[in-house]
Amino acid sequence: MRGSTSPRSLGLLRAGNISAARDQALAATTADPNWGLAPAVLARVYLAQGDGVAAEGELGRARDTGFDMERAHQLFAHAWLLEGDPGRAIVEAARARPRYAGYALRITARARLAQGDVPGALQALVRLLAVAPRDSAAWSDLGRLRYKTGDRAGAIDATIRAITLDPDNIEALTLRGELVRDQYGLVAALPWFEAALRRDGYYHPALIEYAGTLGDLGRYSDMLAATRKALTVRPGSPQAYYLQAVLAARAAGMTLPARC
């Protein structure tokens, strides 16, 4: 188990199948509770799912079973960012080893953006891409940053670059769907969300965007199925519950304000 399951989990994560990666990492932690790498890999998977609390818990288990915490600064930074502490995330990301500098810079950029420091976020990503121009994840982060700041053309360019470099970049595929929906309409966006969900049928951001798009197209049974699936991944998901409320309101002839 030690020689295969966690590397397999990382391979699945790189292929965009976060849910399968989680299952493999969970199997490794169960099979050998004293292997420090297994919970560290599981933490990385939880971070990809947006669950900072679960990730931090697994990093604690990794520490307790001998994992070298010098390899985990960028992971803690990501977890603390997801938990709503961007300042702490920035400090911790700066401690990452050079091997993990790209990951750390992406977390720094996200943390700067969370603080409202758009120039600082952009500077971090530009710095990363200057030394790693083929970093698909950095391009998709740049696309998301540009989209949030109203630079739609720049967002499209960055997202296309991200997908060209890594067709399995599930974040970029989802963002491309959002951009296509804005530019070409609801029907044109569906294949992009479906492409993301082919990589991982339980990827929460894609499920939410897909469900919302289906609802706007009047495909309510498909919308409901997607929101229910999202709730199996993230119980209590406010986005999924909102979409279900929209569906109920439409059924009752009511209207609700647009999604945030």
Q: Is the dihedral of CA 154, 143, 99, 77 positive or negative?
A: positive
Residue 237 · residue 51 · CB < 8 Å: no
Closest CA to 200 of 55, 71, 13: 13
Calculate what percentage of the chain has a pLDDT beyond 90.
Answer: 82
Q: Is the pLDDT of residue 18 over 70?
A: yes
Runs of H (alpha helix) within 65-97: 73-82, 86-93
d(CA 66, CA 69): 9
In Å, how far are 97, 113, 118 from 60, measured between CA atoms? 19, 27, 32
What would the pLDDT profile of 200-255 be if each residue is shown by its tens digit?
A: 999 999 999 999 999 999 999 999 999 999 999 999 999 999 999 999 998 877 55
Q: What is the pLDDT of residue 160?
A: 98
Q: What is residue 128's predicted lDDT score, i.e. its pLDDT? A: 97
Report, as an integer, the average pLDDT of 94-115.
97
Q: What does the pLDDT read at residue 31?
A: 84
Q: At 30, is the pLDDT very low, low, confident or very high (cuts 50, 70, 90)?
A: confident
Length, in residues, of the chain: 260
State phi, psi for 155 to the nearest 5 degrees: -65, -45
Say if residue 260's pLDDT is above 50: no
How far apart are the C-alpha atoms of 85 and 117, rounded to whole Å? 14
**How far apart, in Å, are the Cα atoms of 83 and each of 55, 144, 190?**
10, 20, 31
- Strands, E, within the chain: which ranges? none
Residue 116's alpha-carbon distances to 50, 111, 128, 171, in angstroms, are: 20, 9, 20, 22
Residue 165 pLDDT exceeds 90: yes
- Give the tokens for residue 40: 């560290």
Using CA atoms, how far residue 3 sits from 25, 32, 60, in Å, is: 12, 12, 22
Tokens 């992009």 found at: 192
- If one counts every other C-beta atom within 10 angstroms of the C-beta of residue 244, the result is 19
Residue 97 one-letter amino acid: R
- The pLDDT of residue 75: 98
pTM as predicted: 0.91
User: Residue 198 in contact with residue 173, Cβ under 8 Å?
Assistant: no
- pLDDT over 60 at 1, yes or no: no
